[in-house]
Amino acid sequence: MDACSEHVVGDSRANEQSVLAVLHTLWLREHNRIETTLHQVNPHWLGDQLYQETRRIISAVVQHITYAEFLPAVLGTDIMHQYDLRLVDRGYYDGNSLS
């Protein structure tokens, strides 16, 4: 990295985690898109309610991607089954594999 770019952003490490910055930007934009849609459907909701509901939706999407795509690719199906990490086909998971 040259000295010019360090002075522009204030830190020589600014570009070390560019993929993470891109992911954060994508999730922020998706949050704003969902929040706009929720506001159109529920114009009576106040700012905090819009934020919290959108946050719940984004959290669910991240969890779904993690358990449906990321963990099976990293851990494999045997480990997913062994630790009961598979997604259920219907309803929701109500167990606790830690107890």
The per-residue pLDDT for range 52-84, each reduced to its tens digit, is 999 999 999 999 999 999 999 999 999 999 998
Task: Convert 48-82 to b/e letters by CB count within 10 Å (16 or more is b).
Answer: eebeebbeebbeeeeeeeeeeeebbeeeeeeebee
Task: Give pTM, 2 decimals.
Answer: 0.71
CA distance 73 to 69: 6
